[in-house]
Structure 1
Amino acid sequence: MMILDRPYPTPYISFEVRRRKLVGGIMITASHNPPAFNGFKVKAHFGGSATPEITAKIEENLQSGTRGQTPRPQSLIEIIGPDKYYFDHLKSLVDWDRIAKSKLKIVVDSMHGCGGYILEELLRETSCTVQTVRGNPDPLFGGINPEPMMPQLESLGEVVRKSGSHVGLATDGDADRLGIVDENGSYLNTRQTLSLLLLHVYRNKGWRGAVARTYSQSLLIPRIAEKFGLRLYECPIGFKNIGELMLENEILIGGEESGGIGLSRHLPERDGIFVNLLFLDLLAASGKTCTELVRDLWKEFGEFHYDRRDLHVAIATGKAVVEKWKSDPPKTFAERRVQDVGSMDGSKIFLEKDSWILFRQSGTEPLLRVYCEAPTQSAVAEIMAAGLRFVEQFQSDGVD
């Protein structure tokens, strides 16, 4: 058994499990959740999240009180430090020379998680200027939820704007998720990030494979996949579902709404460190700002905006909201015609004019999550407001 001598990213553990041909690995982390949700992430021999079959066997053994074999004398615990192989592998997947010469000005936000100063150290010998904020590990994450999206990234946006940097790169508590802030300090949402990276790996890098998205991802993804003739998989929410696809299929890129993005040629796993480097690869290759890249994306595939609200409501209330849509959906919502109601994961209401809203009870926290996408910010605001009013009908004290 080996134990790392410091807090370190989950994807590094996954990579080392596969490289060393280990039977598995364990990461103790709250991931992107509050500290109280600390738990075990089990990584299987193939370098990704344990499958439901593996997890079920572990739970069965725990419940039955089964104990492992008594360690033999040669099976003592070994304390080890990080190796270079993971970082050499990351460099081989991007145009490292182009990044090194790009003179990009970057702010990294590790959100007090185990991403630490890894990106800054990795880029130290390049022409890039890198500043890390919230790089010191803190098991309480400085009092915030370490999820790399707004409003948690407001402070990163302010540093990027004031420093005149090209981009802000964030990782979550265990560095398997990422968030991007543009040169103006504005959040580049995960739908835009996944879409831009899909275009980058297909057009600029010439990579091929299928595309995977979770149920709360953007309508942009199927539009791009259709244009290039790429097979598209849609999965329930949770990157583990994309990871399972990667065990059987070559996935060019796959992503979830909460900042998890992965590529089969790397690992059957999301990786915030790698995907942040891949985004730098995109900036260096294009010579454009984040804002220009998004405008080009919208011009070619259509403009879309997005919002998400995490509502602190009783689990029973959240489930009632989801079930109401399945059993008795209205014909109109937010003054738009309801075209369909999907139930792959929660209740997703497809509205006219390329809009939708999704109600889903969280699988990791006592929250009802409400997601919305539409072609304009005003449309998103109208539909989300209607969604919040809909939830309020199910409880007397409103929503928080």
Structure 2
Amino acid sequence: MVNVLAGKVAPKSELIDVARLVGSYYELNPDSSKEAQRVSFGTSGHRGDALKRSFNEAHVMAITQAVCEFKKKMSYDGVIFVAKDTHALSTVAQMTIMRVCVANEVSVAISKDGNYIPTPLVSFAILEHNKKNVQKADGIVITPSHNPPSDGGFKYNPPNGGPADTDVTSFIEMRANEILKNNLKDVKIVSYEEALASNFLSEYDYITPYVEALGEILDMNSIQKSNLKIAADALGGTAIAVYEKIKSHYNLDMDVINPYVDYTFSFMTLDHDGKIRMDCSSPYSMASLLSLKDSYDLCVANDTDADRHGIVTPKGGLINPNHYLSVAIWYLFKYRENFTKDLKVGKTLVSSSMIEHVCKSLDREVYEVPVGFKWFVDGLYDGSLGFGGEESAGASFLRFDGIVWSSDKDGIIMALLAAEIMAVTGKDIADIYEDFEEEFGKSYYDRIDAPASLEQKKILKTLRAESIDIESLAGEKIQKVLSSAPGNDAEIGGLKIVTKNGWVAMRPSGTEDIYKIYAESFISSEHLSQIQKEAQAIMQELFKTL
């Protein structure tokens, strides 16, 4: 149900008390016996709220100490790049991280001039460093992504530049919780003043090298010559300074929208549930930028750490992430001369099947994986994946020469790619997608949530293909049931059922008492609804019997 305030500017009653939040970061201590207050690494690191005792200084001390120990264990003796986003807890968390890293004699590089730095720039910095140095660098990004202003987050990126895999995050999570349980006795820490004066601390310019290298992955000349009038909205996040640098360096006709940091994010319009959320794929959070769509040739946006993208055009409005992924893949594999036939296209198994249709028309192999960008890291890193993208508006791709650019999601290059596509083809993104619909049929895609207890979520996560004993779904014969992804055979933590003209995937939520139902039909919206309805009935029967 959509909140009555969705799409409207946040009232003052919804704004956070920054002083109280930051005070709680230092004053409140988590109870390690309570699951909700422990360290928990999901697909995007540990996230929490200081007021709820789930992201406090104790958590950051413990996680950082665990990372330092992991670095030593793996002999990663290079610098660790540390970047913060514009959430209120990120700055104080960075101060804590600096103190622990220095005490552990780990060289740490923070951003020059105190700049807020996007996730993709950290990935870029790690990869560029490791191309030139024997000592392997890694990174920490302090961000809860697009989550509300009261949240904090901690992500770790190993030397391959991408989000850490499960074996890494499991070690860090387990060790951090052990440290919490032992009342932080194993944490090495110095004062903030000692950290600032230490030779283990340095400043790094993340922005300039990234911006100057954009011509290696994007046709910046075509964008410049096109005279496209572009609006770039960082939604109060880390991309503000990056877009300002891009605008000046490449002399683009670009307006940077909301070019200031406000820890309350008071300029944001409320999301579907009435919360402030910097989600660049939500029409409610993007309402302000959508109101400008007829004043620009292209409007682009990013979430707070700029690893996700939002694309707005005069004709298409806010482009559905699945639609844009399809267009981006078509364009890259059609116009990049060095994107040879052996390069695969990475997609998550809950992304639109329109991608398969596009890839088949281009004679490209699809590499389908479970949800989570971590599954694309190795392929981007070794250059076997030309593109990796997920339905939640996160993607990255290779440089013109087929070499890795970032092995984490990069919302900035995806935003600028939209400008390149429009500049080179002369078409609106929505028009290109309409061509796909004419050729392959219209996609009806949606994601809904259904209630599920903790026990039911555990059951769903461990289901296997043989658990499904039915022959048809929404009037069509079931072709296959998947509990692991076709691309890498990794478990999906749920089920996907596929028919000739549709599919449905069910996965448990990691944070709420719900499971997610992703579904698509190439027949009609009514057929989509029937798929969703029957999927819920299937799950209810399974919950009864298992």
Does residue 351 (structure 1) correspond to residue 499 (structure 2)? The answer is yes
1:60 is displaced (CA, Å) by: 5.3
Assess, with a 3 A threshold, how the Cα gap between structure 1 residues 381 and 36 changes in structure 2: closer, same or farther.
farther
| RMSD of equivalent CA atoms | 3.2
Does residue 3 (structure 1) correspond to residue 110 (structure 2)? The answer is yes
Assess, with a 3 A threshold, how the Cα gap between structure 1 residues 92 and 58 changes in structure 2: closer, same or farther.
same
After TM superposition, list the pairs within 5 Å mapping 1:92-241 onto structure 2.
92-124=216-248, 128-139=252-263, 141=265, 142=268, 143-156=275-288, 158-163=290-295, 165-184=296-315, 186-206=317-337, 207-208=339-340, 209-241=343-375
Assess, with a 3 A threshold, how the Cα gap between structure 1 residues 311 and 331 changes in structure 2: closer, same or farther.
same
Does residue 298 (structure 1) correspond to residue 437 (structure 2)? The answer is yes
Assess, with a 3 A threshold, how the Cα gap between structure 1 residues 315 and 108 changes in structure 2: closer, same or farther.
farther
Aligned residue in 2 for 1:287: 426
My pick for the range that moved more, 35-44 or 341-350, is: 35-44
My pick for the range that moved more, 319-328 or 14-23, is: 319-328
My pick for the range that moved more, 108-117 or 57-66, is: 57-66
- Secondary structure of the residue aligned to 1:343 is strand
After TM superposition, list the pairs within 5 Å mapping 1:64-79 onto structure 2.
65=179, 75-79=199-203
- Secondary structure of the residue aligned to 1:20 is helix
1:153 is displaced (CA, Å) by: 4.5
- Secondary structure of the residue aligned to 2:291 is helix
1:33 is displaced (CA, Å) by: 3.3
Which of 376, 379, 387 is the equivalent residue of 1:242?
376
Q: Distance in 1 between matches of 2:405 and 2:373?
A: 15
Does residue 259 (structure 1) correspond to residue 390 (structure 2)? The answer is no
- Secondary structure of the residue aligned to 1:116 is helix
Aligned residue in 2 for 1:397: none
Identity percentage of aligned residues: 27
Assess, with a 3 A threshold, how the Cα gap between structure 1 residues 323 and 67 changes in structure 2: closer, same or farther.
closer
- 1:246 and 1:268 in contact (8 A); partners too: yes
Q: Distance in 2 between matches of 1:231 and 1:88?
A: 32
Aligned residues: 392
Aligned residue in 1 for 2:152: 38
- Deviation per CA, 1:102-158: give whole Å up to 9, x if none: 121223232222222532541346675433444433445544222221334541553
Q: Distance in 1 between matches of 2:139 and 2:125?
A: 9
Which of 45, 48, 53 is the equivalent residue of 2:162?
48
After TM superposition, list the pairs within 5 Å mapping 1:22-37 onto structure 2.
22-35=136-149
Counterpart AA for 1:224: V
- 1:182 and 1:290 in contact (8 A); partners too: yes
1:85 is displaced (CA, Å) by: 0.8
Counterpart AA for 2:247: L
After TM superposition, list the pairs within 5 Å mapping 1:378-393 onto structure 2.
378-379=525-526, 381-383=528-530, 386=533, 390=537
Aligned residue in 1 for 2:176: 62
Aligned residue in 2 for 1:398: none
Assess, with a 3 A threshold, how the Cα gap between structure 1 residues 303 and 180 changes in structure 2: closer, same or farther.
same
Q: Distance in 2 between matches of 1:218 and 1:27?
A: 29
Q: Distance in 2 between matches of 1:333 and 1:36?
A: 42
When Rg is computed on C-alpha atoms for both structures, the one with the higher figure is 2
- 1:306 and 1:380 in contact (8 A); partners too: no
Q: Distance in 1 between matches of 2:534 and 2:199?
A: 56
Counterpart AA for 1:182: T
- Secondary structure of the residue aligned to 1:123 is helix
1:42 is displaced (CA, Å) by: 0.8
1:384 is displaced (CA, Å) by: 6.2
Q: Distance in 2 between matches of 1:309 and 1:105?
A: 36
Q: Distance in 1 between matches of 2:517 and 2:234?
A: 26
- Secondary structure of the residue aligned to 1:75 is coil
Assess, with a 3 A threshold, how the Cα gap between structure 1 residues 276 and 58 changes in structure 2: closer, same or farther.
same
1:282 is displaced (CA, Å) by: 0.9
- Secondary structure of the residue aligned to 1:299 is helix
Counterpart AA for 2:240: G
Assess, with a 3 A threshold, how the Cα gap between structure 1 residues 124 and 369 changes in structure 2: closer, same or farther.
farther
Counterpart AA for 2:326: S
My pick for the range that moved more, 229-238 or 322-331, is: 322-331
- Deviation per CA, 1:75-97: give whole Å up to 9, x if none: 33224444411111222211111
Aligned residue in 2 for 1:342: 482
- Deviation per CA, 1:250-294: give whole Å up to 9, x if none: 211111111111124312221001111112111111011122111
Counterpart AA for 2:229: K
Q: Distance in 2 between matches of 1:363 and 1:253?
A: 27
My pick for the range that moved more, 205-214 or 112-121, is: 112-121
Counterpart AA for 1:341: V
Assess, with a 3 A threshold, how the Cα gap between structure 1 residues 191 and 23 changes in structure 2: closer, same or farther.
same
1:318 is displaced (CA, Å) by: 4.3
1:191 is displaced (CA, Å) by: 1.8
Q: Distance in 1 between matches of 2:283 and 2:457?
A: 23
Aligned residue in 1 for 2:121: 12
Q: Distance in 1 between matches of 2:534 and 2:457?
A: 12
My pick for the range that moved more, 10-19 or 51-60, is: 51-60
Q: Distance in 2 between matches of 1:153 and 1:329?
A: 41
Q: Distance in 1 between matches of 2:123 and 2:391?
A: 21
- 2:278 and 2:285 in contact (8 A); partners too: no
- 1:177 and 1:259 in contact (8 A); partners too: yes
1:351 is displaced (CA, Å) by: 3.1
1:31 is displaced (CA, Å) by: 1.3
Counterpart AA for 1:123: K
Assess, with a 3 A threshold, how the Cα gap between structure 1 residues 255 and 2 changes in structure 2: closer, same or farther.
same
My pick for the range that moved more, 98-107 or 127-136, is: 127-136
